Amino acid sequence: MLFRCQNCGTEFKADSRKVPNPNVKFRCIKCKVGFLVHVREKGEVSDAATAGKTTQTAARTSSTAAPAGPAQARLTLTKVKDLPSLPFVATKVMELTSSPNTTMKQMEEVILKDPALATKVLRYSNSALYGRAGQISSLTDALVLLGFSTVKTIVIASSVKSMHSSRSQGYLAAGKNMWVHSVETAIAARLFARLVDKKQMEETFVAGLLHDIGKSIIESRLPGTGQQMMSLLKDSDETLEEIERKTLGIAHSELGAVVCKKWNFPELLEKAILYHHDPSKSKKDSNLAHIVALADAISYHLALNPAERQDDATRVQEMPSCNILGIDSKSLAWVIEETQTAVERDKKIFDM
C-alpha cells in the first residue's frame, strides 16, 4: 500500500497485511507535521467486495487496451483523474515562484524534499543551455545564478522526463523517441525566444518540452496506438492530427492542452501546445505557438542527412511562422547550429 504525507509529499510503502484500516491517520515520520494519506495505486482494490468484481475490471481493462471507437477512446484518454499529475515538489515550486514573498531558503527547502529531483536540478543547471557548465555545485548557487523562474523550468523538465514514453517505439519523431525530440524542440524554442522575445525564454522551453506530451499519454493509456497512427499516416493524405481525431476522437495536441489545464499552467502555454501544428489558429498572443511550430520543425531537420538538409532548410524558411516572427535565413541557420551543439553537449545531462 502507498501512503503520501499531506505536508511534505514524502511517500511510504506499507505491507497491506499490517494496515487493516488504511483510513486511520498516521503522522509523517519525516516532517513530523503532516499526516499520511492512503493513495490508491493502479490495480489496487479497496476491499473484498471490490475484489470480487474481477470480471468487470477485466472488461474495463480490455476496453482501455482496444477502444470500441473514437468516443470510447476519447473518454479513456481524457478522464481527468487518470491523467498524470505533476509531482508534489514541482507543484509546490510553481506555487512559490508565483509569490513575490518567496525566499531563497523556502525554495531550497522544498526542492531538497526530493533528493533525486534536487540532483537533476543541479545537473540541468550545468547544461550548456544555461551557460553555467561546472559553475553550479549547490541549489543555492542555482537559485542565485539562474533565478527562480529558470529553476522552476528545470524542475518541470526534471519532473516530466518520466512521463514521456522514451522506451516506446510507437510514436517516433524522425526516428527519435519522444523524450529526445521534446528536448531538441525545447532547446530550439528557447533559442528562437532569444531572438524574438527574451522575456518568454522559460515559457518557450517548457512549451517545447511538453508540445507532444499528448502522444506519450496516448501511448501509455492505449499501448500500440502510436504505431497504429504512424502506419495510417504513411498511407494517407491526412495529417496526423486528422487521423487521431478520426480514430481516437482527440488529437495529441488537444490532449496536451487538457494536461496543461489540469496542471494549472498559464493559458498562453496551453494555447501554444494546442496550436503548435497550426499556429495561425491561435488568435491571441500567437508568438509562442509559432515558436514551438518552428522548433518542432528544427528537430525533424536535425534528423536528416547533410545532403537533405539544404532543401529542408528552405522548407523551414518558407514556413509562415518565420515571416510572422521575422526569422531570416541567417537567424534560422544560427538556431539550427546552436541547437545541434547544445544537444551534443548535453546528451548525458538530459538523459537523451
Burial of 80 (0-12, 13-18, 19+ CB in 10 A): exposed
C-alpha–C-alpha distance, residues 53 and 345, integer Å: 53
Q: How far apart, in Å, are the Cα atoms of 140 and each of 145, 210, 244? A: 9, 27, 45
Compute the distance between CA of residue 308 and CA of residue 300 in angstroms, rounded to an integer. 11
Per-residue cell: 73: 477512446
36 strand-pairing partners: 5, 26
Instruction: Report pLDDT digits (tens) over 74-121.
Output: 877 877 677 778 888 888 888 888 888 888 889 889 888 888 888 888
Name the pTM for this structure.
Answer: 0.73
Higher pLDDT, 229 or 195: 195
Burial class (CB in 10 A: 0-12, 13-18, 19+), 304: middle
Q: Which three cell numbers stand for residue 314?
A: 528552405
HSE-up of residue 9 (Cα within 13 Å, Cβ side) = 16
Residue 154 banded pLDDT, cuts 50, 70, 90:
confident
Give residue 50's pLDDT: 35
With vertex at residue 164, the alpha carbon angle to CA 158 and CA 169, rounded to the nearest 5 degrees, is 145
Give the 3-state secondary structure of 55-104: HHHHHHHHHHHCCCCHHHHHHHHHCHHHCCCCCHHHHHHHHHHCCCCCCH
C-alpha distance across the termini of the chain, in Å: 33
- pLDDT value, residue 296: 94
Any idea which of 79-93, 104-118, 143-157, 278-292 has the lowest mean pLDDT?
79-93
| Amino acid identity for residue 151 in this structure | V
The least confident of 18-27, 48-57, 216-225 is 48-57
CA–CA separation, 333 and 304 (whole Å): 15
Residue 62: its pLDDT value, please? 37
Measured on CA atoms in the order 278, 192, 174, 176, is the torsion positive or negative?
Answer: negative
The predicted pLDDT at position 217 comes to 86
Reading the block at residue 95, the C-alpha cell is 506555487
Secondary structure of 93-137 in HEC code, one letter for each residue: HHHHHCCCCCCHHHHHHHHCCCHHHHHHHHHHHCCHHHCCCCCCC
CA distances from 333 to 8, 309, 343 (A): 46, 11, 16
